[in-house]
Amino acid sequence: MNPSLKLILILIISLEISFKPNLWANLILIGGALIYLIFHHLSWREFLLILFFPLLGAIAIFSALYFFAPDHNLIYAWTLFTRLYVFVFLGACLTLTTTAGKLARSLEQNLHLPSKFTYGCLAALNLLPKMKAEVIRIHYAAQMRGTSLSFWSPRLYFKATLVALAWAENINQGMLAHGYRENASRSIIKPILLTKKDWLLFLGVLILVQPILFIL
Block mean pLDDT (10 aa), the chain, length 216: 91 91 91 92 89 90 84 86 93 89 86 79 78 82 78 77 78 70 70 89 92 82
Sequence-ordered alpha helix ranges (H) in the chain: 3-19, 23-39, 44-52, 55-66, 74-95, 100-110, 115-144, 154-177, 196-214
pLDDT of residue 102: 87
**Structural contact between residues 88 and 14, judged by C-beta atoms closer than 8 angstroms:** no
| Chain Cα centroid distance, residue 95 | 6
pLDDT of residue 119: 76
pLDDT of residue 182: 65
d(CA 56, CA 98): 27
